[in-house]
Structure 1
Amino acid sequence: MLCKPRQRIRRWQLLLILVVALGSAVAAKVQASEQHYRAFFESSVLPLSEPAHLAPMYDAIGERRFVLLGESTHGTHEYYHWRAEISRELITNHDFSFIAVEGDWHAIYQLNDFVKLRDSVEDNASGDARTLLRNHAIRWPRWMWINEDFADFLDWLRAHNAERPMAQRVGVFGIDMQDPQDSMEHVLAWFQHNDPSNYPQVADAYHRMLDFPEEFRGYAQHLVYGGERLNNQMALAAKLLHDQLGGNPADADKATWVARENALVAKRAEAQFHGATQLGPESWNARARFMHESLLRLAKRHGEESRGIVWAHNTHVGDSAATNMSNRGEVNIGHLLRISEGEDDVFILGFGTYQGSVIASPSWGEGQQEIAVVPAHPESYEGLLHQSGIQQGLFLFDDTARQGDLLAPRHQRAIGVIYTPPNEAYVPTILTRRYDGFIYFDETQALNPL
């Protein structure tokens, strides 16, 4: 009778010992992994205090056709400064032909006219990017492009282009589609002026969408309540323009090519908003596929020997297959481009920070604020880099960095246009597979909006 309680006590003691031992083993494994990462960072970091320190990265880029430059926020001065520095070098000494940014096609194309010194932009006479940007109708979040760093880069690119014939001038293009209404208005104006016979049917198709309260957002609500999908209507203008171009849109005159690109914005935007009403990744993927396809169309437009630079958030350029995005079926430009063009033709550079300040907003559509970036989680990549004592540095990843513990996912910080610390977003990431290189800053400063 007295033995049974003692046996039960021994079993619980054994169970407790096993739990503690298991927890200790897991903790030891985590600690060993963290130590491995810190040792890797300390041994592989390259200095980055002046532009000349980027030379090893240019060697790694070699003859690759596409260079994707990321950012872990949409409002950090250092990211814009170093992306501009890298872009100047690639354009000046490596024959890169165009820059594609995470901005709306229609809005950014007006900046393209500016940097190429086309007479259609009123501010070309003064050559002042700041005046142009302050008066430019770019949607919220305006600070992404209406800021001192981007203005400096546009002024440099305009001066660089002024010494070259039009065919050799480097342009800036948007490959996003978050403001489809402006693109639709552009397409309607093109049909009214250039193809009046087809204008009525295109206008009728587009106004089916534009007549909803809040336009595309109203359309999404219409779908939720079982309304008719308007995918054929939104695809009509793109099809008519494609037919007119005889299947060779890359060789079209400038006005017709621009109209077709804007028509494709409307077509893909419909797919994005339809996807938003469904369970799954289709809304995100519609945007990602548009960015990828738009980039490839730009490359084709610029010729077989053209080379392109992309500025976009890490979430878009860092290969989604090396993150938990793949678990949700989500793709992005980096992943799609590595598949379509091959990894040897794509170089992806990520950016990250431990702490500092950033321009962001506390909620969607609200005004911009300078917000303190709180120290990163100690177990994140940024946390381990901080613990390694690295203030600023460049990392380049080869096959030796893609094995063993370095293939274990770890959190990487991601700050978007909305930032409400202490609420933080982190993406489980295999850093050395997500990127070909990485630039880290221990502390960063906010952009200076115009």
Structure 2
Amino acid sequence: MSAAPAPNRGLQHDDVRLLQALRPHLRAFKRADTAPGLLELVGDAHFVLIGEASHGTHEFYLERARLTRRLITDHGCAAVVAEADWPDALRVHRYVCGRSDDADAEAALSGFERFPTWMWRNTVMVEFVEWLREHNRHLPPGRQVGFFGMDLYSLYGSIQAVTQYLDEVDPQAASRARARYACFDHRGEEDSQAYGHGAAFGARPSCEDEAIAQLFEMNRRAAAQLQAGEPDEAFYAQQNARLVRNAEQYYRSMFHGRVSTWNLRDQHMVHTLAALLQHLQATHGAAPRLAVWAHNSHLGDASATEMGRLGEWNVGQLARERWPGDCALIGLSTFHGRVTATSEWDGPAERKRVCDGLSGSYERLLHDCDMDRLWLPLRGNPALAGLLQAERLQRAIGVIYQLGTERQSHYFHTRLPAQFDALLHIDRTHALQPLVHEPLWHGSEGDVPETWPSGL
């Protein structure tokens, strides 16, 4: 870390003073799992929410995996809960717990077929999943660390999972489920958005009542199986039924406004966390610690952002409200480099250049601190909160990165000390490597990180 900002940057006087005042609060780190003071800040929180500023940055996935490994080995973390579809993540869960026929992690991850496949089928995930399987190999079944999904896009996949489970345990119940879920089978299609459009505008009947009725039946079954001492598979099927009910509402609401669907989606994620907490506590005998993986926009407290002023809430905000004092929210950011993203929805993956952070953004401010990697201890730090009390821009790259409209498409205002408990900044980052062959990605130029393709 240098003594003062570089003189040729043309910084405004206020920014120079802010940088000087920030320096005592900046903490250098090489790896998230050994970042001085970070685990102490996390403390005994049962929910450790670890974000990312994009869905395609190698270092974000790597450092999140490193920190989670430490939480698992040294701090009693019982499960990883990801921004992923429940049935696809459950296939990974079965693999890491030694309950599947998949030959390796890459096979276990192959269930993630929905765009964007690279979000979970990538080189970092392969290494983490293999590590988790090896870790679980030495644990009794009731103490193995799980891997679960909390997203709600898998409407038809979850319908299939419910009926397959019931086929094995209760064929009559399976017939009832198929009769109810037949409502979703419109002209033989399995298109969630087509269902939502038709149900929203009256072109086809809503399946809400059928989805609710099936969920009630699965709730009763899961409660009975818990009493019988065979809770896991019944719980997994119950979660699929809950997802069908919530996804039905989500897709039906999709054509009536972004805020409504965003809130439904994040509410479902928090309900999934609560259900997992209850289930794991019943089976483990103690309140479990969960590592939650999702985008910063889901895990940073929305009430501290301009999204909150527009009426949106998110997982970070709802978790803080539901489990006050029991959540640690950790964000990640970068200034420039490369990212795996597309130019349009469902487009091919590309290795895109990440533009330098804009003037007036946190990314630019942290870049001007002249440190390759730093983290900010935001919680319980009133001096730092005072320095960063004014709103600044923050970048968010999802699966689409639109360089031509970057300010409008990828930046929003936020109050960082209220948004996160800690922020890790990696100044230059690299594109996440997909497992699925992506011709545009492999044909593009770009450097690779020193940890490529491994480094946990």
Question: Does residue 263 of the first structure (1) align with residue 238 of the second (2)?
Answer: no
| 1:421 to partner: Cα distance | 0.9
Q: Distance in 1 between matches of 2:32 and 2:297?
A: 26
- The answer to whether the 8 Å contact 2:86/2:150 transfers is yes
Q: How does 1:237-386 map to 2 (within 5 A)?
A: 237-246=214-223, 253-279=231-257, 281-303=259-281, 304-342=286-324, 344-386=325-367
Residues 1:200 and 2:172 aligned together: no
Matched, 1:409 2:391: yes
Residue 122 of structure 1 corresponds to 102
| Farther-moved stretch of structure 1 (183-192 vs 207-216) | 207-216
Q: Is 2:42 the partner of 1:61?
A: yes
2:400 maps to what in 1? 418
Classify 1:373/1:259 alpha carbon distance in 2 versus 1 (closer, same or farther; 3 Å). Answer: same
CA 1:241–1:136 in 2, change beyond 3 Å: closer, same or farther? closer
Q: 1:341 to 1:276 in 2, by over 3 A?
A: same
Cα 1:51–1:175, aligned 2, differ >3 Å: closer, same or farther? Answer: closer
2:163 is the counterpart of 1:188:
yes
Larger radius of gyration: 1
- Give how far 1:168 is off: 1.1
Distance 2:328 2:299 in 1: 10
**Alignment partner of 1:235 out of 202, 212, 227:** 212
| Partner AA of 1:68 in structure 2 | L
Q: Indicate conservation of the 8 Å contact 1:352/1:440, yes or no.
A: yes
Residues 200-219 of structure 1 correspond to what in structure 2 (within 5 A)?
A: 200-211=175-186, 213-219=189-195
Residue 435 of structure 1: aligned partner: 420
In the alignment, structure 1 residue 88 sits paired with structure 2 residue 69 = yes
Superposed displacement of residue 254, structure 1: 1.8
CA, structure 1 residues 181+286, in 2 after alignment: closer, same or farther (shift >3 Å)? same
Relative distance call for 1:36 and 1:169 in structure 2 (3 A) is: farther
Q: Secondary structure at the match of 1:427?
A: strand
Distance 1:196 1:52, change over 3 A: closer
1:137 is displaced (CA, Å) by 4.3
CA root-mean-square deviation: 2.1
Q: CA deviation at 1:83?
A: 0.6
Contact 1:348–1:437 (8 Å) recurs in 2? yes
Change (3 A) 1:302 1:376: same
Identity %: 29
Number of residue pairs matched by the alignment: 414
Q: Structure 1 unaligned segments of length 5 or more: list them.
A: 1-29
The 3 A distance-change label for structure 1 pair 36 and 209 is: farther
* Residue 202 of structure 2 is aligned to residue 226 of structure 1: yes
- Structure-1 separation of matches of 2:102 and 2:425: 40
SS of alignment partner, residue 343 of structure 2: coil
Cα distance in 1 between the residues matched to 2:59 and 2:178: 44
Q: Deviations over 1:210-235 (max 9, x none)?
A: 32645321122213433443211122
Distance of aligned partners of 1:406 and 1:201 in 2 relative to their CA distance in 1, 3 Å threshold: same
**Whole-angstrom distance in 2 between the partners of 1:188 and 1:53:** 45
Between the aligned partners of 1:50 and 1:286, the Cα distance in structure 2 is: 35
Read off the aligned partner of 1:298 and give its amino acid letter. Answer: L
Distance between the aligned counterparts of 1:52 and 1:205, measured in 2? 48
Give the letter aligned to residue 279 of structure 2: R
The match for 2:152 among 174, 177, 187 is 177
Report 1:66-77 matches (<5 A). 66-77=47-58
Residue range with higher mean Cα deviation, 167-176 or 277-286: 277-286
What is the CA–CA distance in structure 1 between the aligned matches of 2:296 and 2:51, rounded to whole Å? 5
1:146 aligns with 2:124: no
SS at match of 2:206: coil
